[in-house]
C-alpha cells in the first residue's frame, strides 16, 4: 500500500543515505546537481529541515510529502514556486517527485504518489500544477503525459549531462 505522509525523524537517515551513498536516483532526477555533502553535513541539513517542518502550522498547505510503500520510505514529493526559467502564476504550484530507494523505481509508485498529491491539491483549490524535467528523463516525460500534463515551455539545450545537451521542459496540468 502506498501512503503519502509527513516527514518522520526516522526519515533523516534515509535522506543521508540517498544524498551520500545511494545516489543512483539522481542520474535522472537532476544529474547536473552533484551530490557534494558529507554524511555529517547531510545529517545536519536534514535534521534542521525536519525541525523546521515540525514548527509549521497544521493549517498550512502541505508542500512536501514522504512516499511510503508497505512501511518502507521510498522517496518524496515536493512543491515549489521558483522554477528557475519559468514563472508559475499565483494560482499554481510546481511539483516534483523522487523515488530514491533502490528497487522501487519503475514499478508505478511514482504515478500512484503523484495521483494522490494531485487529488490533495485539487481539493485545496489549486487551479494548475506544473512540473519540470529534462528531455533525457524519458520516464518522467511519459508519466507527465500519462497523467494529463501538457508541455507548455521548452528551453533548448539548457541542461548538460555527461557532455551532452538536453532541453529543459515545463508541463502544466489544469485542475
Low-confidence ranges of the chain (pLDDT < 70): 85, 87-91
What is the per-residue pLDDT across 132-144, written as a single tens digit (0 to 9) for each? 999 999 999 999 9
Per residue in 92-109, pLDDT (tens digit) is 789 999 999 999 999 999
Residue located via cell numbers 508541455: 151
What confidence score (pLDDT) does residue 153 get?
A: 92
**Max Cα separation, the chain?**
45
Sequence-distant (≥ 6) Cβ neighbours of residue 147 within 8 angstroms = 111, 114, 115, 118, 173
* Beta-strand pair 72-80/64-69: antiparallel
What is the domain count for the chain?
1
Range of the domain at 52: 2-174
Q: pLDDT tens-digit profile of 145-160?
A: 999 999 999 999 999 9
CATH code of the domain covering residue 120: 3.40.630.30
pLDDT at 132: 93
pLDDT reported for residue 56: 86
pLDDT value of position 88: 66
Amino acid at each position: 500500500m502506498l501512503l503519502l505522509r509527513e516527514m518522520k525523524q526516522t526519515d533523516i537517515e534515509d535522506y543521508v543515505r540517498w544524498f551520500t551513498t545511494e545516489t543512483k536516483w539522481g542520474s535522472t532526477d537532476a544529474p547536473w546537481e552533484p551530490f557534494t555533502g558529507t554524511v555529517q553535513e547531510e545529517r545536519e541539513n536534514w535534521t534542521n529541515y525536519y525541525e523546521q517542518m515540525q514548527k509549521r502550522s497544521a493549517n498550512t498547505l502541505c508542500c512536501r510529502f514522504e512516499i511510503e510503500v508497505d512501511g518502507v520510505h521510498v522517496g518524496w514529493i515536493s512543491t515549489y514556486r521558483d522554477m528557475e526559467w519559468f514563472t508559475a502564476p499565483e494560482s499554481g504550484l510546481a511539483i516534483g517527485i523522487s523515488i530514491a530507494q533502490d528497487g522501487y523505481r519503475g514499478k508505478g509508485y511514482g504515478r500512484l504518489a503523484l495521483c494522490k498529491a494531485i487529488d490533495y491539491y485539487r481539493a485545496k483549490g489549486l487551479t494548475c500544477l506544473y512540473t519540470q524535467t529534462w528531455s533525457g528523463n524519458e520516464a518522467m516525460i511519459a508519466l507527465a503525459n500519462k497523467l494529463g500534463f501538457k508541455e507548455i515551455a521548452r528551453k533548448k539545450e539548457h541542461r548538460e549531462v555527461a557532455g551532452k545537451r538536453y532541453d529543459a521542459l515545463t508541463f502544466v496540468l489544469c485542475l
